[in-house]
Amino acid sequence: MAQQWILIDSPQSHVAETPRAWTGEHHGTPLSWQLGTLSGGRSEGVQILRVQSGATEFILVPTRGLGLWQASRDGQPFGWSSPVAGPVHPHWVPIADPSGLGWLEGFDELLVRCGLASNGAPDFDSAGRLTCPLHGRIANSPAHHLSIAVDDQGTLTVTGEVRETRFLIRSLRLRSTLRLRLDADVLELTDEIINDSAQDTTAQMLYHLNLGRPILGPGAELLAPVKELAPRDPRAAEGLARWAQFEGPQAGFAEQVYFMRLHCDDSGTSRAMLRAADRQLGCGVTFDHQALPYFVLWKNTAAEADGYVTGLEPSTNLPNPHSFESRHGRVLPLAAGATARLSLQIHLLVGAAAVDQFATEIASMEREQATSLVHRAPPANWSA
Amino acid sequence: MAQQWILIDSPQSHVAETPRAWTGEHHGTPLSWQLGTLSGGRSEGVQILRVQSGATEFILVPTRGLGLWQASRDGQPFGWSSPVAGPVHPHWVPIADPSGLGWLEGFDELLVRCGLASNGAPDFDSAGRLTCPLHGRIANSPAHHLSIAVDDQGTLTVTGEVRETRFLIRSLRLRSTLRLRLDADVLELTDEIINDSAQDTTAQMLYHLNLGRPILGPGAELLAPVKELAPRDPRAAEGLARWAQFEGPQAGFAEQVYFMRLHCDDSGTSRAMLRAADRQLGCGVTFDHQALPYFVLWKNTAAEADGYVTGLEPSTNLPNPHSFESRHGRVLPLAAGATARLSLQIHLLVGAAAVDQFATEIASMEREQATSLVHRAPPANWSA
Amino acid sequence: MAQQWILIDSPQSHVAETPRAWTGEHHGTPLSWQLGTLSGGRSEGVQILRVQSGATEFILVPTRGLGLWQASRDGQPFGWSSPVAGPVHPHWVPIADPSGLGWLEGFDELLVRCGLASNGAPDFDSAGRLTCPLHGRIANSPAHHLSIAVDDQGTLTVTGEVRETRFLIRSLRLRSTLRLRLDADVLELTDEIINDSAQDTTAQMLYHLNLGRPILGPGAELLAPVKELAPRDPRAAEGLARWAQFEGPQAGFAEQVYFMRLHCDDSGTSRAMLRAADRQLGCGVTFDHQALPYFVLWKNTAAEADGYVTGLEPSTNLPNPHSFESRHGRVLPLAAGATARLSLQIHLLVGAAAVDQFATEIASMEREQATSLVHRAPPANWSA
């Protein structure tokens, strides 16, 4: 059944005649995809790619930097309910707003990439002019290439490319591959950041994995093999004793952010999980520790109406302004023509067995590692 | 004949199959609507809704915050000729331009809303960075919902919704209802500003009703039951003696703006009218005085080529920078989940009888009220 | 065979039913045009007009201010390879970015206009806020009118209009006519900048003609009848001795810019040419010297990946910040309602005969003129 489709390959002078949907099966497991275009309000013109393989389903948004909008497993939704009500076409997201905060008008994905040249808080030049918008530009850049392949084992692979180019300044490219094995509960993401320029540059990447109901709720927990942890600021320090526990929605809850380094296993893999209170549901993330040495927990347990959500964020750096991170060496050097490879897997854990197994893996990593350093206040080189 | 159509309900995964036009009649009076999409230049992709009921016709622009682009009665046009040559799709309007003046590149409606979080002159933070663009964001935000209903009496009701949301910052929503009774000469607008957040916030709204030829011309007059009036600045003070009279087009005419509070009648209604020199044509506006306690007259009788126009502007506040208005308490408090209701009617007055009757109503309000305070210069708390 | 087609005439309430393509011939020479819309990535929705007449072909982009994207003659391409990978829809180009450099995200044309209100380096107000973005707004503004005519001699004429309007601030309009005589190797451009306002204003225009491979290469030369020349800055001064010679691609090459005034012939025409090393290929430009009294050479012989390119730029002014140019009188005064006319021809020179003849014309101008003043450093009134 091996097949391949090219869905976007820009610029095209005509709308592709390629099938916009396909349905198949592999040994009785259904497998399908559909490429659609939304209409109405801020979603007008947004292309979405929906993929289903057995009990797993996910939606990618090529128009929004190939972000992962939503996923589900056995009918259980993974994602959150953002007041933004997207997916929002980047044309409506004012990322060049002088405040640097326009990005917040488009934020509603399960997984949004923050990069490529920069991520983190907005940065400004000495005249107060925005240089790096909040969380960078890639999530509001369109894919110029999108293709899908299905192999003989029923593994589905989506490959896409997104550019972040400003003439004379930078020429970065994201090449992303998302693989879903037949009916598996793991979305396997491999990203390459390519420096298309003949000059050296740097990059940053943070994977903003956002979870709300039903996993998040009072009694939900963050499990992670912490090596070192610090609150980002005094507000986060207030909640330090219970940094890994979650409360219910609280109107006006001001976000608490924790910066961490995690342990990794012998293969160099780190992992973390948000586990529901009843331990029947969890979302795990595993990732290459060397490429993504930092892990950020964003607790935003505000009212449902304002986005009751937490973010699990493997990252190349800490989400401070780019100039601060650069000063502390937390940027990814990319030589002329070089490629950095980042890999991350999202585990859609449904049922006690799957949840417990993932928790056991984290616990065994914690046992094997002696140290766990918790700072009462942010180290000077960690927080801007 | 009662019917309802949902024309926009975002996000939709397919273009709605709903009829895009409808024609009916009620006891011999024709009634119809058409939803179209413009193409070419800066109008590419703009959706417009044209409604006709007897001798009254109007065009709403869902793509531009449900603004009222144009109206006519008995073939008499109400509106103005803007050099902007729209309707302009918001994607072409740089409202995040650091100057805060990008809004001016899309301004050409008969009625444009200025809000929801703010209106008035641009505001900046202490570093000189734009915080509130001129007249806010709502006019350049798209409706995510639009529906039409016709009832058994031939009354047509258009209902739409527009969001103004920035995650963590604000979550406001406009729900607007425009009602046209069978063949009536009044467009009845009821707006709700809804705070979808679980946190308290504030809002502002100014209705920028703009009129040019044929009502505006030498000898045209503004009629209003003035309780208190002040020129906005020295330039307006120059024209104070003849603030209610209009001259012909004058190249280079610098705008003159007058801030007012009007009297209201026992039912709490204020009113004002621009009356043509020959008193055969007028545009009246009536509005809920408690919700819209300020009234602004914008005289911009520049050359025709530059937009010969005047604005009648019922408002929750004065159009100073938001921080100035906030300091003086002229913002609308909106508790978590609360809704503010604003209502305003636009009277398309054709013929001496209709014009005279509206003038009489204003005159009787003036007679009943003793006071009319005119400041020679702007009070310190009125002008930034 | 005389015919005319109106392709864009905004706003239209329906997509034009006009033919979107036409093919004809004149005494055996084929002649054709096609209007298409691109899809995918940042090119989504970009309209392009391709014209062919005998051995000459060119592509205009109405969506990008009627820029000339590419041209070819006898199969030889004229243009360059930009890392930007366009044509880029203006909706993706953040020209209001506080840095003023967002224009660089859309730059990939053979000929791009820089204007109308301003061109050159970004300019800022005293608070550091952007007032004039790099190279102005016209290249990222859409044509609201586009028509084509073919006359009985097989001459094809494309006429288009683009607005640059901000209510109260400016109301400029570009009316551009591009003429291609039957199978000729010259694209004849006549631009009018129209001040639609009743108030006086000023304008600027720079024609950014960009050439890369195959004309540009080691040993390529710039030929021009220089009257006065100065390096823009110390970096350009470094290369002064060989300002007219080109080297091969060099990674990290920092741009060198030379400001010039050229001689003109008796008819008031100036000319310049980029000639390939083998003298078999060249791109010439002739222009009205009075209207375009300055000529800029932009040498950007960086690596191919970063855009190996040089710009030949006839201009009304020098590309300094607008306030600097205004102070030195290098803005085009435009009275109320006035029109400035600029004309420029692009010569697609293929073969030694065509190249040599153009070189001879330049040489004869140099012989006839005595003076050629070369400054070692930029004069104070030439460089900001």
Quick: pLDDT tens for A300-357. 999 999 999 999 999 999 999 999 999 999 999 999 999 999 999 999 999 999 999 9
Instruction: Indicate yes or no: CB of A198 within 8 angstroms of CB of C97.
Output: no
**Touching B: A residues 303-362, CB under 8 Å:** 303-307
Nearest CA in chain B to A95: B96
C-beta atoms of A199 and C41 within 8 A: no
Give the number of beta-carbon pairs within 8 Å between A and C: 115
- CB spacing of B11 vs A40 below 8 angstroms: yes
CA distance C49 to C64: 11
pLDDT value of residue C368: 76
Give the residue-averaged pLDDT of B3-13.
85
CB contact under 8 A, A167 and C36: no
Name chain C contacts of B302, Cβ cutoff 8 Å. 198
Cβ contacts of C35 on chain B, cutoff 8 Å: none
Q: For residues A362 and C150, what is the distance between their CA atoms, to the nearest angstrom?
A: 74
Residue pointed to by tokens 């969506």: C63
| Cross-chain residue pair A306–B198, CB shorter than 8 Å | yes
CA A30/CA A27 separation, integer angstroms: 8
Residue A261 in this model has a pLDDT that exceeds 80: yes
Mutating which of B37, B99, B101, B129 best tests the C interface, going by the most C Cβ atoms within 10 A?
B99
Q: Mean pLDDT over all residues of chain A? A: 95
At C274 the pLDDT is: 98
Evaluate whether C212 touches C281 at the Cβ level (below 8 Å). no
Residue C18 has a pLDDT of 54
Q: Which residues of C touch A336 (CB under 8 A)?
A: 251, 303, 305
Q: What is the pLDDT of residues C68-82, one digit of tens each?
A: 999 999 999 999 999
Query: Which is higher by pLDDT, B29 or B18?
Result: B29
Cα separations (Å) of C173 from B214, B302, C158, C314, C337? Answer: 26, 19, 16, 20, 11
Per-residue pLDDT of C153-173, as tens digits, reads 999 999 999 999 999 999 999
**Helix, strand or coil for residue A305?**
helix
- pLDDT computed for residue B14 by the predictor: 54
What residues of B are in contact with residue C11 (Cβ under 8 Å)? Answer: 38-41, 43, 46, 86-87
User: What ipTM was reported for this prediction?
Assistant: 0.95
Contact criterion met (CB < 8 Å) for B128 and C130: no
Confidence at residue A33, expressed as pLDDT on a 0 to 100 scale: 96
Apex C287 CA angle, C284 and C289, nearest 5: 135
Residue B315 has pLDDT above 70, yes or no: yes
pLDDT per position as a tens digit, C107-156 = 999 999 999 999 999 999 999 999 999 999 999 999 999 999 999 999 99
Which residue of chain C comes nearest to A169, CA vs CA? C104
B197 to chain A, any CB pair closer than 8 A? The answer is: yes
Residue C327, H or E segment: helix C322-327
Q: Which of A12, A171, A198 sits opposite C38 (nearest CB)?
A: A12
Question: Is B131 within 8 Å of A99 when comparing Cβ atoms?
Answer: yes
Give me the mean pLDDT over the C183-203 stretch: 97
Q: What chain C residue is nearest to A160 in terms of C-alpha separation?
A: C41
Residue B17 has pLDDT above 70, yes or no: no
**Is there a contact between B134 and B321 (Cβ–Cβ < 8 Å)?**
no
- Which residues on A lie below 8 Å from C105 (Cβ)? 165-167
**Is residue B75 classed as helix, strand or coil in its secondary structure?**
coil
**Which residue among C105, C252, C303 places its CB closest to the CB of A165?**
C105
Q: What angle do CA A308, A309, A310 make, to 5 degrees?
A: 150
Q: Are B137 and B14 in contact (CB under 8 A)?
A: no
Is A12 near chain C, with CB under 8 Å? Answer: yes
Residue B13: pLDDT band with limits 50, 70, 90: low
Q: Are C381 and C326 a contacting pair, CB within 8 Å?
A: no
Model confidence at C191: pLDDT above 90:
yes
pLDDT at C348 over 70: yes
CB of A373 within 8 Å of any CB in chain B?
no
CB-based contact A166 C96, cutoff 8 Å? no
Q: Is the dihedral of CA C92, C93, C98, C101 positive or negative?
A: positive
Contact (Cβ atoms closer than 8 angstroms) between residue C172 and residue C117: yes
Sequential DSSP letters for A153-179? T--EEEEEEEEEEETTTEEEEEEEEEE
Q: State the pLDDT at residue C257.
A: 98
In angstroms, the CA B262 to CA B322 distance is 22
Closest residue in chain B to residue A251, using alpha carbons only: B198
DSSP conformational letter for C152? T
pLDDT band at A16 (very low <50, low <70, confident <90, very high): low
pLDDT at position C293: 98
Beta bridge partners, B11, equal none
Please state, in angstroms and rounded to a whole number, the distance separating the CA atoms of residues A54 and A30.
5
Q: Which of C42, C250, C304, C309 to mutate to test the interface with A (most CBs of A within 10 A)?
A: C42
Quick one: pLDDT at residue B19? 60
C residues 126-155 lying closer than 8 A (beta carbon) to B: 127-131, 141-145
Q: What is the pLDDT of residue C303?
A: 98
- DSSP state, A255? P
CB < 8 Å to C125, chain B = 99
The pLDDT of residue A247 is 98
Closest by CA to A249, choosing from A309, A312, A313, is A309
Q: Which two tokens stand for residue C353?
A: 């005969």
User: What mean pLDDT do residues A45-50 have?
Assistant: 96
The rounded mean pLDDT for chain B is 95
Considering only the beta carbons, identify the residue of C95, C127, C163 that sits closest to B85: C163
User: What is the pLDDT at residue B125?
Assistant: 97
Is B315 exposed, middle or buried (CB count within 10 Å of its CB: 0-12, 13-18, 19+)?
buried
Nearest alpha-carbon partner for A265 in A355, A173, A361: A361
3-state secondary structure of A151: coil
Q: Is the predicted pLDDT of residue A18 greater than 80, yes or no?
A: no
Please write the tens of the pLDDT for every residue from B163-220. 999 999 999 999 999 999 998 999 999 999 999 999 999 999 999 999 999 999 999 9
Nearest-neighbour CA in chain C from B253: distance (Å): 10
Q: What is the pLDDT of residues C274-323, one digit of tens each?
A: 999 999 999 999 999 999 999 999 999 999 999 999 999 999 999 999 99
**Residue C371 in this model has a pLDDT that exceeds 90:** no
Q: How far is CA C244 from CA C225, C370, C373, in A?
A: 11, 19, 15
| Six token digits for residue B150 | 């016709």
Written as six digits, the tokens of C283 are 């791109």
User: What residues of C are in contact with residue B43 (Cβ under 8 Å)?
Assistant: 10-12, 144
* Tens-place pLDDT, residues A32-44: 999 999 999 999 9
Q: What is the pLDDT of residues C248-257, one digit of tens each?
A: 999 999 999 9
Determine the average pLDDT of the residues in C227-250.
Answer: 97
Task: Count other Cβ atoms within 10 Å, centred on residue B230.
Answer: 23
Phi, psi for residue A139 in degrees, rounded to 5? -70, -15
CA B32/CA B22 separation, integer angstroms = 5
Mean pLDDT value of segment A222-226: 97
For residue B41, what is the nearest residue in chain C, using CA coordinates? C144
Flag if B39 and C10 touch (Cβ within 8 Å). Answer: yes
Do residue C97 and residue A130 have CB atoms under 8 angstroms apart? yes
pLDDT of residue A11: 72
Instruction: Say if strands C186-195 and C47-53 run parallel, antiparallel, or are unpaired.
Output: unpaired
Residue in A12, A336, A337 closest to C40 by CB: A12
Q: Which chains touch C (3 or more CB pairs under 8 A)?
A: A, B
Q: Which residue of B has its CA nearest to C9?
A: B40
User: What pLDDT was estimated at residue B135?
Assistant: 98
Write out residues 221-260 of C within 8 Å (CB-CB) of A: 249, 251-252, 255
Per-residue pLDDT, averaged over C195-218, amounts to 98
- Taking residue B227's Cβ as centre, other Cβ atoms within 10 Å add up to 21
Helix (H, G, I), strand (E, B) or coil at B64: helix
Per-residue pLDDT at A369: 73
Q: If DSSP codes are grouped into helix, strand and coil, which group holds residue C353? A: helix
Give yes or no for A41 touching C (CB within 8 A).
Answer: no
List the one residue out of A124, A93, A125, A97 whose CA is nearest residue B124: A97
Confidence of residue C86 (pLDDT cuts 50, 70, 90): very high
Residues A131, C99: C-beta atoms closer than 8 Å:
yes
Strand B201-211, strand B332-334: pairing: antiparallel
Tens of pLDDT, residues C9-53: 887 765 555 568 999 999 899 999 999 999 999 999 999 999 999
Q: Which residues of chain B lie closer than 8 angstroms to C137, CB-CB?
A: none
CB contact under 8 A, C11 and B43: yes
Q: What is the pLDDT of residues B118-166, one digit of tens each?
A: 999 999 999 999 999 999 999 999 999 999 999 999 999 999 999 999 9
- What are the tens digits of pLDDT across the range B340-383? 999 999 999 999 999 999 999 999 988 877 678 999 999 999 99
Q: Which residues of C62-88 are buried (b: 16+ CB within 10 A; e: fewer)?
A: bbbbbbbbbbbbeebbbbbbbbbbbbb
User: B105: distance to nearest CA of chain A, Å?
Assistant: 16
Q: How far is C174 from chain B (nearest CA, A)?
A: 13
Burial (0-12, 13-18, 19+ Cβ within 10 Å), B144: buried
Lowest mean pLDDT among A284-293, C67-76, C235-244, C361-370: C361-370
C-alpha A72/C-alpha A67 separation (Å) is: 15
The encoded tokens of residue B117 equal: 């979080």
